[in-house]
Each structure stands twice: as C-alpha cells, then as structure tokens.
Structure 1
Amino acid sequence: MPTYFLIAAKMSAWAINRIDRFRRSFLWRGADPDRVRGDHCLVKWQVCTRPKKLGGLGIKDLEKFNRVLRLRWLWLLWDHNERP
C-alpha cells in the first residue's frame, strides 16, 4: 500500500485487520490467509512488529504507522505555513 494514502486519511480498523491477516499468513503459513490460526504461530505479532534493535522483525505496525504519518502531516502544516 502506498504510504501517501495514509498521510491524509485515517485507515479504518477493518482494513488494518485485513491487511495484517494477509501479512501474518504470508509470514507463518504461506499465501492463504484462511489457514492462519493462533495455534500455528511461534511468535506473537507484537514481537514481529518491534524494531530489529529490540529483537523484532521490523515489520511496521500499520495502526501506529498511520498515526505517525498523520501527526507528521499536522506538524508540517503547523511548522511551514508558507507551503500550499
């Protein structure tokens, strides 16, 4: 998903859950998202989304990433008033 969509609009919870379902299935079981269940996962998803420096895989948490991009957009609007 292009990140410029996430800058201006809040991503809905169902979309985040659906995308995370595909990402989990690819990581743990292959390309079929219907095959993912909690009993096959060796590592919590929260551990996978940690930065590599903290022992994770460095996979972005979409909810947090969306929030950060929207806050950055507000910061740029506040900091640079001369921008269109």
Structure 2
Amino acid sequence: MGMPLGAKSKSIDISNSVIEKCEKKLAKWKSQYLSKGGRLTLINSVLDALPTYMMSLFPIPPGVIKRLDRIRRNFLWQGNKEKKSFHLVKWEEVMTSKENGGLGIKNLKLQSKALSMKWL
C-alpha cells in the first residue's frame, strides 16, 4: 500500500513519503484551472485520504501535520497561482463540519489522535 518496508515507526522517511505523495498530486492539479469548490473536493477526497492510512499504522509527528495543513491550506486558497494570496477564513473554521458552517476539511491532528487510540 505504499508504505516503506522495514521502516521504524518514528522514522522521518515515513512522514516524508506522505508529504511527497501529496506534493506530487498537487503538481498535477496545479496545472489545471480549478474553482475553489473543485479544490475543496480534491482536498477532501485525496489529500485527506493519503495521510489517513499512514496515521492508522504509525503516530504522525506534529511537524508533519503542520506541513500537511500548510499544503492543503495553500492549495485551497492559492490554487495554481505562484504568488501569495490572502486566506479568507481561519483554518480552524475551515476544518469545522459543514453543519457548523465550515467546509468539512478533516482536522489531521484530531484524526491522528483518534486513529492512535485504537491501539490502546
């Protein structure tokens, strides 16, 4: 399933492989002109799914979660633009559920904690 064989659970290589996969996916999508709704759909369907499998097996370091959040946040607001753009809403509000006025993007920190609880 794309996990490095023989890697230690705290190895940075495991985390870097997930970040690299996300960046490869984004490189393909950035060449297309997508609306914010299209980018939101890609974030929810693909960029949230890639780290989920890894988080179900290994604890994910907080620094990696921050990098993944930055990748998702920048893709949502900037799209294929190279220059910086303003983030229109706080990321914490974007990650709230649609029923509560957010965009329904998963909170990776909470998801990682929930998936690590299954090992207790």
TM-score of the aligned structures, taking structure 1 as reference length: 0.71
User: Contact 1:16 / 1:62 at 8 angstroms: preserved in 2?
Assistant: yes
Summarize deviations over 1:18-75 as a string: whole Å, max 9, x none. Answer: 1111101111112468736xxx11110000000111111000011101001111343x
Q: CA deviation at 1:3?
A: 2.0
Partner secondary structure for residue 24 of structure 1:
helix
Q: 2:104 is aligned with what amino acid?
A: G
- Of residues 47, 71, 77, the one that matches 1:22 is 71
Gap regions ≥5 residues in structure 2: 1-49
Q: 1:63 is aligned with what amino acid?
A: K
Q: 2:88 is aligned with what amino acid?
A: L
The number of aligned residues is 71
**Residue 59 of structure 2 corresponds to residue 10 of structure 1:** yes
- Structure 1: 4+ residue segments shifted above 6 A: none
Query: Which residue does the alignment assign to 1:42?
Result: 88
- Alpha-carbon distance in 2 for matches of 1:10, 1:33: 32
Identity of aligned residues (%): 39
**Residue 105 of structure 2 corresponds to residue 59 of structure 1:** yes
